[in-house]
């Protein structure tokens, strides 16, 4: 990003850890971080708060900064008339949730940068997103807005207070979900959820809805379970079409791998070029499960490509994963990822250029128009415009030749691209997003039987355990520059708990199960709504920093904390035999039933958990003297099938087993056999007689409904 216009003098943000706040540390705006100092100044001087929320890889955040926050005129207005606060939404999702909801109440939409103007007691009375510096085309600019808000603040304070109180009242009512006591049939609810997604499905391009189009892999994971439950092939077809179209599209980085944030068009061609850790995690899960369901090597290949991207760009040396990569480089969105024909000619011969032009429909004027102007600018996004056989036919060569040549060409373009200025990387490590990635890697390791996925999952888990959990199992949310900070929110506990449950099931080390149970206990104690069910996003103490205590069930780009808590508690209950975890899970679902019935397409992860709750579930216990080659063969074979409602535990004669029985005492009743491996397959916690025949065990797991 361009930073040459900034004044050399630093503001208060220079002492922060957030890359986003540090990007603004040399603005002439007298920014405050969120904290009592800012609010005290506002109260003392009777000034409104100008709150700006964004994140370091946000394209329009950069635009607004360079246009307005680096401008002396804007800075003078903000510094004289307001108290200006900067918040990194990824560091402080509690603040972002509250004021994004306020923006949606006031304007009907939201986004980043989020611009909120509020009273010194944190009550909002104006909301917007990106605001240009100057007024134009009937749209108010920031300079005029600041002057008018200042006038209203001084001359019409009663009006300001009236709006602030009304918005705060609406905000309060939106943040509490009452217990739903209606009778409900969960199997019917699953059908309603599947039908809602079927209606939204784009049968021409894959995915759901129109542009902009987001991946939302949890929707696909839910539909895979509906396919398994109903044997209706249309649900598998929806999943496969969507996953295949995304991999072929510009939303996937065809040169360096990994998925961009979303597609600005309906066909997955032109992406918003950010790359987020959570997208890689959730999409890795969807592709791994698709491989388990179909055994199609295409999905396995995508998993390996995502793994390559993670290792290349988002893996921290300590073992955790960084948050994101920017969309911008050299002051332009997508510059790093798009190509002119002249650039391609630098390293490719004429025949290679012909192949690339044919595969990706490359043009001199460019193959996409700018979103803002509608003009072609001579740059091309790489997306597969043809299948391999169509490309081979167009070129008059064999399909294998095209594939072989493309591998060589991709390496050349990768090497050339490395010479470009790479987009900014947000190198903070977030507990919640790393929890998702640990879950994704652990599940992928089981499905693909690949130790590289497992190694990364373990290393990330060990990093979080070592650096972000204290002796009382209090979680911290953010790690950067050698320092962990910010007390964890619901998502941190729920996502990491899920990751550790999945990691235990993959590696069978009771340490991870112990940590998962401790985090579950802390989550229940600190975040649960004992009256109405479900979990608040913040603790009581944390909620004092924001207006209200929010409780979120809706699944957005990533699942909500309540959705993951629900699912992880169900799995933890089956693995440990602890019924209370299932009771908390059931109350969480109960609290959301009314919401699900109104808009089932927004609660796919909750419905995925409901599929597990409805069952049948399969609890598999493998009993053996040691973890030898034969025992691991049995374990791998059982993990190779697509049965997401199963849990697998290994009991062997070891110290680990004794530790495991402390957490899951029921395992003490499964006796070790001197001669052979015993496999117990239990259905809804009712066990068949043990067998030593893995094929028989697999057949029992296939008796679904």
Mean pLDDT by 10 residues, the chain (705 residues): 57 96 97 97 97 95 96 97 98 95 92 96 96 90 96 95 93 67 82 97 96 96 97 98 97 98 95 97 98 97 98 97 94 92 94 93 88 82 91 90 94 95 96 98 97 98 97 96 97 98 97 98 96 94 90 93 98 96 96 93 97 96 91 93 96 85 93 86 89 93 73
Question: CB of 78 within 8 A of CB of 132?
Answer: no
Question: CB of 326 within 8 A of CB of 275?
Answer: no
Query: Residues 228, 292: one domain?
Result: yes
At 190, list the tokens. Answer: 């699953």
pLDDT number for residue 698: 93
Query: Residues 466, 415: one domain?
Result: no
Where a domain ends, among 562, 590, 614? 614
**Segment 224-232 long-range contacts (CB within 8 Å, at least 24 positions apart):** 224/289, 224/290, 224/293, 224/642, 224/644, 225/608, 225/611, 225/644, 225/645, 226/190, 226/193, 226/194, 226/611, 227/293, 228/293, 228/642, 228/643, 228/644, 228/704, 229/190, 229/611, 229/704, 229/705, 230/194
Single out the residue of 569, 572, 568, 585 nearest to residue 649, CA to CA. Answer: 572
Per residue in 657-703, pLDDT (tens digit) is: 889 999 999 999 998 877 789 999 999 888 888 999 999 999 999 87
Query: Residues 608, 658: one domain?
Result: no
Residue 196, phi then psi, degrees to nearest 5 = -65, -40
In a domain, 7, yes or no: no
Give dist(CA 519, CA 525) in Å, integer: 10
Query: Residues 574, 548: one domain?
Result: yes
Q: Could you tell me whether strands 49-54 and 83-88 are parallel, antiparallel, or unpaired per DSSP bridges?
A: parallel
3 state DSSP class of 678: strand
The dihedral sign for the CA sequence 385, 387, 391, 393: negative
- Domain with 116 in it: what CATH number? 3.40.30.10
Q: Which residues contact 658 (CB under 8 A, 6 or more apart)?
A: none
In a domain, 674, yes or no: yes
Residue ranges with strand state E in 55-98 = 83-88
Query: Residues 589, 627: one domain?
Result: no
pLDDT number for residue 3: 44
Single out the residue of 115, 200, 118 nearest to residue 153, CA to CA. Answer: 118
In a domain, 2, yes or no: no
In a domain, 84, yes or no: yes
Query: Residues 162, 20: one domain?
Result: yes
pLDDT number for residue 300: 98
Q: Which residues contact 30 (CB under 8 A, 6 or more apart)?
A: 11, 12, 75, 78, 79, 84
At 67, list the tokens. Answer: 């246009």
In a domain, 607, yes or no: yes
N residues, the chain? 705
The dihedral sign for the CA sequence 86, 92, 93, 98: negative
Which domain covers residue 89, as residue numbers?
Answer: 12-174
- Find tokens 């108010």 and name the residue: 140
Per residue in 277-294, pLDDT (tens digit) is: 999 999 999 999 999 999
Where a domain ends, among 401, 419, 437? 419
- Domain with 676 in it: what CATH number? 3.40.30
Query: Residues 285, 407: one domain?
Result: no
Strand order through the sheet with 425-426: 275-276, 324-325, 425-426
Give dist(CA 343, CA 415) in Å, integer: 12
Give dist(CA 322, CA 631) in Å, integer: 36
Give dist(CA 472, CA 39) in Å, integer: 32
In a domain, 3, yes or no: no
Query: Residues 431, 522: one domain?
Result: yes
Query: Residues 44, 88: one domain?
Result: yes
The number of domains in the chain is 4
pLDDT number for residue 95: 96
Q: Cα angle vertex 20, ends 19, 25, to 5°? A: 90
In a domain, 591, yes or no: yes
In a domain, 671, yes or no: yes
Query: Residues 435, 531: one domain?
Result: yes
Single out the residue of 445, 553, 439, 459 nearest to residue 502, CA to CA. Answer: 439
At 525, list the tokens. Answer: 């104690």
Question: CB of 91 within 8 A of CB of 486?
Answer: yes
Q: Which residues contact 668 (CB under 8 A, 6 or more apart)?
A: 661
**H/E element holding 325?**
strand 324-325
Give dist(CA 646, CA 684) in Å, integer: 10
Where a domain ends, among 419, 436, 453? 419
Query: Residues 124, 247: one domain?
Result: no
Query: Residues 446, 522: one domain?
Result: yes
pTM of the full structure: 0.95
User: What is the separation of C-alpha 495 from the centre of its chain, rounded to a whole number of angstroms?
Assistant: 10
pLDDT number for residue 126: 96
Give dist(CA 243, CA 301) in Å, integer: 12
Task: Identify the DSSP state of 665.
Answer: G
For the chain, give the mean pLDDT. Answer: 93
pLDDT number for residue 4: 47
């Amino acid at each position: 990003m361009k930073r040459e216009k900034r004044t050399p003098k630093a503001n208060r943000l220079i002492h922060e850890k957030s890359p986003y706040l540090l990007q603004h540390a040399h603005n002439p705006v007298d920014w405050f971080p969120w904290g009592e100092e800012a609010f005290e100044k506002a109260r003392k001087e009777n000034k409104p708060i100008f709150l700006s929320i964004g994140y370091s890889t946000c394209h329009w955040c950069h635009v607004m900064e360079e246009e307005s926050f680096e401008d002396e005129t804007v800075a003078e207005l903000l510094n004289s008339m307001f108290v200006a606060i900067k918040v990194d939404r990824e560091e402080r999702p509690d603040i972002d949730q509250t004021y994004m909801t306020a923006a949606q109440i006031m304007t009907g939409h939201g986004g980043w940068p989020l611009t909120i103007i509020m009273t010194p007691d944190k009550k909002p009375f104006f909301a917007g997103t990106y605001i240009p510096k100057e007024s134009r085309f009937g749209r108010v600019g920031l300079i005029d807005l600041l002057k008018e808000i200042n006038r209203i603040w001084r001359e019409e304070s009663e009006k300001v207070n009236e709006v602030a109180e009304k918005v705060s009242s609406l905000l309060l009512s939106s943040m509490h979900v009452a217990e739903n006591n209606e009778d409900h049939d969960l199997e019917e609810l699953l059908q309603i959820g599947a039908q809602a997604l079927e209606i939204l499905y784009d049968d021409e391009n894959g995915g759901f809805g129109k542009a902009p189009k987001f991946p939302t892999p949890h929707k696909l994971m839910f539909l895979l379970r509906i396919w398994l439950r109903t044997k209706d092939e249309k649900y598998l077809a929806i999943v496969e079409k969507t996953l295949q179209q995304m991999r072929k599209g510009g939303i996937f980085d065809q040169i360096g791998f990994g998925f961009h944030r979303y597609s600005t068009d309906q066909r997955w061609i032109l992406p918003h070029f950010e790359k987020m850790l959570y997208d890689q995690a959730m999409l890795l899960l969807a592709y791994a499960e698709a491989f388990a369901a179909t055994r199609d090597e295409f999905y396995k290949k995508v998993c390996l490509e995502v793994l390559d991207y993670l290792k290349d760009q988002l893996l921290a040396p300590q073992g955790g994963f960084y948050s994101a990569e920017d969309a911008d480089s050299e002051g332009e969105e997508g510059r790093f990822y798009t190509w002119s024909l002249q650039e391609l000619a630098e390293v490719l011969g004429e025949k290679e250029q012909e192949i690339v032009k044919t595969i990706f429909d490359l043009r001199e004027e460019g193959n996409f128009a700018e979103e803002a102007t509608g003009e072609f600018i001579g740059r091309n996004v790489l997306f597969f415009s043809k299948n391999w056989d169509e490309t081979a036919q167009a070129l008059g060569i064999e399909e294998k030749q095209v594939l072989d040549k493309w591998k060589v060409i991709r390496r050349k373009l990768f090497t050339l691209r490395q010479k470009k200025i790479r987009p900014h990387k947000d190198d903070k490590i977030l507990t919640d997003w790393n929890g998702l990635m640990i879950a994704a890697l652990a599940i992928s390791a089981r499905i693909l039987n690949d130790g590289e996925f497992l190694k990364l999952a373990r290393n990330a888990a060990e990093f979080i355990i070592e650096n972000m959990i204290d002796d009382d199992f209090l979680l911290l949310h953010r790690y950067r520059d050698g320092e962990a900070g910010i007390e964890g929110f619901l998502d941190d506990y729920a996502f990491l708990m899920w990751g550790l449950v999945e990691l235990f099931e993959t590696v069978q080390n009771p340490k991870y199960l112990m940590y998962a149970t401790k985090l579950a206990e802390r989550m229940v104690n600190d975040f649960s709504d004992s009256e109405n069910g479900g979990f608040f996003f913040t603790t009581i103490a944390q909620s004092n920093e924001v207006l209200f205590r929010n409780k979120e069930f809706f699944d957005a780009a990533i699942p909500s904390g309540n959705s993951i808590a629900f699912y992880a508690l169900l799995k933890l209950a089956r693995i440990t035999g602890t019924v209370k975890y299932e009771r908390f899970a059931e109350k969480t679902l109960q609290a959301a039933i009314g919401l699900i019935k109104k808009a089932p397409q927004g609660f796919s992860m909750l419905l995925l958990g409901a599929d597990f709750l409805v069952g049948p579930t399969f609890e598999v216990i493998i009993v053996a003297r040691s973890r030898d080659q034969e025992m691991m063969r049995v374990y791998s074979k059982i993990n190779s099938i697509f049965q997401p409602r199963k849990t697998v535990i290994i009991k062997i004669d070891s110290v680990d087993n004794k530790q495991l029985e402390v957490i899951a005492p029921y395992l003490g009743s499964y006796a070790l056999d001197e001669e052979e491996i015993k496999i117990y397959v239990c259905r809804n916690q009712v066990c068949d007689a043990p067998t030593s025949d893995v094929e028989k065990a697999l057949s029992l797991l296939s008796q679904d409904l």
